[in-house]
Amino acid sequence: MDAAEKHLEELARTGYTAGFVTDIEADTVPPGLDESVIRFISAKKKEPAFMLEWRLQAYHKWLRMEVPDWAHLNYPKIDYQAISYYSAPKSAADGPKSLDEVDPELLRTYEKLGIPVEEQKVLAGVAVDMVFDSVSVATTFRKQLAEAGVIFCSISEAMHDYPELVQKYLGTVVPQADNYFAALNSAVFTDGTFVYIPEGVRCPMELSTYFRINERNTGQFERTLIIADKGSYVSYLEGCTAPQRDENQLHAAVVELVALEDARIKYSTVQNWYPGDENGKGGIYNFVTKRGVCQGDRSHISWTQVETGSAITWKYPSCILRGDDSVGEFYSVAVARAAQQADTGTKMYHLGKNTRSTIVSKGISADRGQNTYRGLVRMNRGAENGRNHTQCDSLLIGDRCGAHTFPYIEVINPTAKVEHEATTSRIGEDQLFYCRQRGLSEEDAVSMIVNGFCKEVFNELPMEFAVEARKLLEISLEGAVG
Amino acid sequence: MLSINHLHAGINGEEILKGLNLEIGAGEVHAIMGPNGAGKSTLSKVLAGREEYVVTEGSVRFLGQDLLALEPEERAHLGIFMAFQYPVELPGVNNTYFLQTSLNAIRTARGEEPLNSLNFMKQVRSKLRELNMDESLLRRSVNTGFSGGEMKRNEILQMSLLEPKLAILDETDSGLDIDALRIVADGVNALRSPERSMLVITHYQRLLDYIQPDYVHVLSNGRIIRSGDKSLALELEEKGYGWIKAQEAAA
């Protein structure tokens, strides 16, 4: 290949700037799923016996379940026997004790993504638990957190070091057979994050995990469990990006949050997985189950998400408001462009008295993107004076995209109040012309209008995440108009 | 400064401007008056570069350049500012941020250093004082939920900040009560300078009580059919547009 060709290839690659593949020897099982694969995973991770039992239960439930088809999504049938269910970078087998022991190739990957761990340690005060494929390879700030009594580690470590906590809470928010993808995750999850904040502790820093899908044909089945004990507080950041792929990659994560009395959990996500090419080819299929339970009185769970990536997004971070006076919040920006499809929203189950929930959903559709908001607000019999406010706004860019809204409202308690507002608008020629007349380029104008549209959600993100989210949105919508 | 020559333009295949000629020199204030449908708005949009309006014939030169070959933002960079008849709402976009981005886009295009937030705030505060406007305008989303008067004041604030070479006021008086009209007119008058030209487009003479033009043109059926000084506006006010049309028909 001559220099000019190389240059061209370089240019072609920059289409998705995070699209590169790290070359690391992986310890991968052949594609396919049966009991032996689950035994392999459990043995590989030297799990306690109860975990193997639990996984096998989930597997048998999964076998009897059907793929949900109610979502406003269109994708080819997934062959679950074509997926490899275990992959771990080999260098992690011994378990690195510090960053120095981490495969430098991995660290370079994160640097390319603009996540230099060293810099983050100093600048942002964020502890990072990176998940590379399926095994956590680096954990920082462990010591500082330990002094506060905070446990922040991979879920595999938690099974060894805190089995009683894992056994007590795992699967209590999202049961094994909750849905097809959650059951699959329960059977085969290889790693994820575990957080425990002890009673009365305010976590001294924002906890963050960067996920990255890397191994070819490897389904990603992370499991996250966060427990905030009485009167504690934690803010958790989750951000993802993935290298470019030809095959579709399945991702079926489960996140469980438990907030005890007076505890507060703030969970923020910026998701930038490869959305596929113009036709959606090669993009990530993202089927995620995220749910939090406000177990104790006056507890508070807040979900904030900025979803720009993935070919398919199927995701409904939810709150079960069991404690009296508990509060659930959901703030979301979802972008669907090119051939992306997003079916996302939330569920708020009001069980306790005086429970309150707020839903703010901002859907942006461009090109042929299809964006669906699907939300359930349920006021149970015991939800005296329950309150919900839902605001659901859609922004259309161009005339080939779609926005769909499916709000489900179920109210059994007559004292409960539910409000729903919805708007759909189009980035108007008038708006663009106004901005351009004031000297702004069309791209800058679009980015400004979109950022304005998303402001209520961005305001909920931690500062440095909000900056990242804005940038991401700009990149995601480049060339969407015109 | 601005030279419009035999301009033909329209929208959706319908010709609205039919051979319009106009010369505006530096520092001059020109008023264009005319009945509804005469082509007043079309003229302002063609000058600002609204894409739906198609020019079929003629030329427009601005500061020696072919204006029609430029994108709307390039025209803004050159110094064309249009105060909109109906300013557009940008929900969630902070007005201060919008003004700063706009000013810095123009400064950058002109090879000047962008202003940092501190210097920008100094500048915008001094403009607000000059224009006797309230600072609360800055904290809101651009034009969102603004009253008609607030929108027009916001336009004048932008104009004052961006310091254009040619300001086009597109029916700025529409929808304003007399107090708001005076504030807007005071703002415009404060911006008059030997380097700045203005094109004031209006249906009614009353705006011209406050903004005294050097020249008045009557636009009818896509052409300027009569030009004069400000007394022409008064005559029009007295006799109505019918008078001038009838005269033209007779001629």
User: pLDDT category, A13, cuts 50, 70, 90?
Assistant: very low
User: pLDDT category, A43, cuts 50, 70, 90?
Assistant: confident
pLDDT of A242: 46
Smallest Cα distance from B241 to chain A, Å = 31
A87 part of a folded domain:
no
pLDDT of A108: 54
pLDDT of B219: 92
Q: Which of B77, B92, B142 sits opposite A439 (nearest CB)?
A: B77
For residue A435, the chain B residues in CB contact (below 8 A) are: 90, 102
A202 part of a folded domain:
yes
Same domain, A61 and A118: no
Contact B98 A448 (CB under 8 A): yes
Share of chain B above pLDDT 70, in %: 98
A210: pLDDT strictly greater than 70: no
For residue A437, the chain B residues in CB contact (below 8 A) are: 48-49, 72-73, 75-76, 81-82, 84
For residue B76, the chain A residues in CB contact (below 8 A) are: 436-439
A10 part of a folded domain:
yes
Mean pLDDT to the nearest integer, A428-446: 91
Same domain, A56 and A109: no
pLDDT of A428: 79
Tell me what the pLDDT averaged over chain A comes to. 81
B4: pLDDT strictly greater than 70: yes
Mean pLDDT to the nearest integer, B190-208: 90
A330 part of a folded domain:
yes
The predicted model scores a pTM of 0.78
CA-to-CA dists, residue B152 to B47, B169, B188, B206, B210, angstroms: 20, 10, 11, 16, 15
Asked if A312 and A339 count as a contact pair (C-beta separation under 8 A), the reply is no
Contact B162 A455 (CB under 8 A): no
Contact B101 A437 (CB under 8 A): no
- DSSP letter for A94, please: G
Asked if A308 and A271 count as a contact pair (C-beta separation under 8 A), the reply is yes
Q: What range defines the domain where residue B80 resides? A: 2-250
pLDDT of B175: 76
A88 part of a folded domain:
no
| ipTM field | 0.95
Mean pLDDT to the nearest integer, A72-89: 80
| CATH code at position B243 | 3.40.50.300
A275 part of a folded domain:
yes
A481 part of a folded domain:
no
Per-residue model confidence as pLDDT tens digits over A156-188 = 889 999 999 999 999 999 999 999 999 999 999
Contact A455 B92 (CB under 8 A): yes
Same domain, A45 and A150: no
Same domain, A48 and A124: no
The single-letter code of the amino acid at A10 is E
Structural domains counted in chain A = 2
- Return d(Cα B20, Cα B43) in angstroms, integer: 9
Q: What range defines the domain where residue A48 resides? A: 3-82
Neighbours of A275 (CB within 10 A): 29
pLDDT of A116: 47
Among the candidates A21, A47, A82, a domain finishes at A82
pLDDT of A141: 65
Same domain, A164 and A34: no
Structural domains counted in chain B = 1
If you search the block for the tokens 């329950």, which residue do you land on? A386
Contact A437 B93 (CB under 8 A): no
Per-residue model confidence as pLDDT tens digits over A387-406 = 999 999 998 888 888 889 99
A23 part of a folded domain:
yes
Q: Which residues of A314-324 are buried (b: 16+ CB within 10 A; e: fewer)?
A: bbbbbbbbbbb
Per-residue model confidence as pLDDT tens digits over A295-335 = 999 999 999 998 887 888 999 999 999 999 999 999 999 98
Tell me what the pLDDT averaged over chain B comes to. 90
